[in-house]
Amino acid sequence: MRGHRARGSALILDTNALSAFVDGVPGVGAILGLQQRAAIPVIVLGEFRYGIMGSRHRKTYEEWLEIHLRHFDLLAVTAETTLPYASLRATLKRLGRPIPANDAWIAALAMQHGLPILSRDEHFDALPDVRRISW
């Protein structure tokens, strides 16, 4: 599972979706329950780990990762990812609609793998070739 491409009915989790899932937000769990696969970009994993470093529940979150992370595909940035990333950043710059750099990498991974992104971030809606699912 780990490190493979997500296939079939699948999606990519953004950091806010991963956080909501870990916290037991019902809508996120329901959406993930309908998927054959769910993928976490290493960028999201890094953001999540950074976010929990200062949390009073850090140990609980780290234990959750230890137990559950293996059930997700991890998507790494590769040389192939740099093509949609560069194209996306150039398009957004031309349109005057920049997004956070990490979200551009997440969107590039979504484009590369042909997967939607589970996220609350509406700026994904304006991106070409990216589909966002919310809860």
User: In sequence order, which residues have a C-beta less than 8 Å from that of residue 80 and are 6 or more positions away?
Assistant: 112
pTM listed for this prediction? 0.89
Report the Cα 114 to chain-centroid distance in Å.
13
Cα separation, 129 vs 131, whole angstroms: 7
Distances (CA, A) of 11 to 36, 48, 130: 9, 18, 11
**Residue 10, SS3 per DSSP:** strand
Cα separation, 37 vs 116, whole angstroms: 12
* Domain extents in the chain: 10-133
Residue 74 has φ and ψ, to the nearest 5°, of -100, 125
What is the pLDDT at residue 6? 41
* DSSP secondary structure letters along 24-93: T-HHHHHHHHT-SEEEEEHHHHHHHHHHHHT-TTHHHHHHHHHHHGGGSEEE---TTTHHHHHHHHHHHH
Evaluate if residue 66 carries a pLDDT over 80.
yes
Which numeric CATH code is attached to 10-133?
Answer: 3.40.50.1010
**Tens digit of pLDDT for each residue in 10-65?**
999 999 999 999 999 989 999 998 888 999 999 999 999 999 999 999 999 999 99
**Tens digit of pLDDT for each residue in 68-98?**
999 999 999 999 999 999 999 999 999 999 9
Dihedral sign, Cα of residue 112, residue 113, residue 116, residue 117:
negative
